Amino acid sequence: MTASTRMADREGGDRESLPAYLAPVPHTLEDLGLRFAWLVVAINLAGTAFGFWYYGPQLGRTAVVMWPWVPDSPLATLFVALAIGAWKVGREQPWMTALAFFGNIVLGLWTPYTLLVFADSYTYLPVWMYHFLFWSHLAMVVQALVLYRISDFPIWAVAVASLWYWSNLIVDYFVPVVGGLHHTIIPVSRDTPLFLGADALGAIAAGEVTFVLLALFLALSIRVKKCEAARDRR
Give me the count of residues in the chain.
234
CA atoms within 13 A on the CB side of 56: 4
Q: Specify the pLDDT at position 4.
A: 32
Residue (of 145, 79, 84) closest to 109 by Cα position: 145
Residue 13 lies inside a defined structural domain of this protein? no
Distances in Å between the Cα of 197 and the Cα atoms of 84, 204, 205, 210 are 42, 13, 14, 18
* pLDDT tens per residue across all 234 residues of the chain: 333 334 334 555 556 679 999 999 999 999 999 999 999 999 999 999 999 999 999 999 999 999 999 999 999 999 999 999 999 999 999 999 999 999 999 999 999 999 999 999 999 899 999 999 999 999 999 999 999 999 999 999 999 999 999 999 999 999 998 888 999 999 999 999 998 789 999 999 999 999 999 999 999 999 999 999 888 877
d(CA 158, CA 219): 7
Residue 10 lies inside a defined structural domain of this protein? no
Residue 209 lies inside a defined structural domain of this protein? yes
Q: Specify the pLDDT at position 60.
A: 94
Domain boundaries, position 51: 19-233
Listing DSSP states for 82-123 in one string gives HHHHHHHTT---HHHHHHHHHHHHHHHHHHHHHHHHTGGG-T
Largest CA distance in the chain: 61
User: Counting beta carbons within 10 angstroms of the beta carbon of residue 91, is it exposed (0 to 12), middle (13 to 18) or buried (19 or more)?
Assistant: exposed
- Residues 36 and 56: beta-carbon distance below 8 Å: no
Residue 7 lies inside a defined structural domain of this protein? no
Number of domains in the chain: 1
Residue 1 lies inside a defined structural domain of this protein? no
Residue (of 222, 223, 210) closest to 105 by Cα position: 210
d(CA 18, CA 25): 11
Residue 2 lies inside a defined structural domain of this protein? no
d(CA 216, CA 211): 9
User: Counting beta carbons within 10 angstroms of the beta carbon of residue 128, is it exposed (0 to 12), middle (13 to 18) or buried (19 or more)?
Assistant: exposed
Handedness of CA 112, 117, 120, 124 (dihedral sign): negative
Residue 87 lies inside a defined structural domain of this protein? yes
d(CA 132, CA 112): 10
d(CA 218, CA 215): 5
Distances in Å between the Cα of 233 and the Cα atoms of 9, 26, 88, 227 are 18, 24, 26, 10
Residue 48 lies inside a defined structural domain of this protein? yes
Give the orientation angle of helix 37-54 with respect to helix 127-144, to 10 degrees: 130
